[in-house]
């Protein structure tokens, strides 16, 4: 999988990532610049996606519990999809947030589109 090149002063990893959902936990060690969605897939954590990680569906949303500095800064696509309150809510898109340090995130239930009722 493609990963952004690291600058020489960027942390190289590997880094510990832990996913939490209720009483269940999944842990994995990943190289720097791995997305949370990639890490979740690799360790079996139930982070959902409908768009296969291109940032269109927002089903991969997680909440950062520990290590906000362990993720890349939100870029334009993520800010557009989540709004500018990520710093208050701790919510990030798993397909966009890249690991740059140790982090613990809570897996959220996906919010599927509502069905229209027949008329």
> Which two tokens mark 92?
């990030």
68 domain-assigned:
yes
Q: Give the C-alpha separation, 72 to 58, whole Å.
A: 17
- Phi/psi of residue 61, each to 5°? -65, 135
**Number of domains into which the chain is organized:** 1
Q: How many CB atoms lie within 10 A of CB 81?
A: 17
Tell whether the model's pLDDT for residue 116 goes beyond 60. Answer: yes
From the list 100, 104, 107, 94, the residue with the least C-alpha distance to 18 is 104
Write the pLDDT tens digit of every residue in 62-87: 999 999 999 999 999 999 999 877 87
| Domain encompassing residue 103 | 15-107
49 domain-assigned:
yes
62 domain-assigned:
yes
Write the pLDDT tens digit of every residue in 19-73: 999 999 999 999 999 999 999 999 999 999 999 999 999 999 999 999 999 999 9
The predicted structure's pLDDT at residue 10: 63
2 domain-assigned:
no
64 domain-assigned:
yes
Q: Give the C-alpha separation, 17 to 102, whole Å.
A: 6
* CATH number of residue 86's parent domain: 3.10.20.30
28 domain-assigned:
yes
User: pTM here?
Assistant: 0.84
């Amino acid at each position: 999988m493609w990963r952004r090149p690291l600058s020489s002063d960027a942390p190289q990893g590997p880094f510990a990532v832990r996913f939490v959902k209720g009483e269940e936990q999944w842990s994995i060690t990943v190289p720097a610049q791995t997305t949370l969605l990639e890490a979740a897939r690799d360790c079996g954590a139930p982070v959902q996606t409908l768009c296969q990680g291109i940032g269109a569906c927002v089903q991969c949303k997680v909440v950062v519990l520990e290590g906000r500095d362990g993720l890349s800064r939100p870029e334009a696509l993520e800010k557009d999809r989540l709004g500018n309150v990520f710093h208050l809510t701790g919510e990030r898109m798993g397909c966009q947030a890249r690991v740059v340090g140790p982090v613990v995130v809570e897996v959220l239930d996906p919010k599927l589109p509502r069905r229209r009722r027949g008329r």
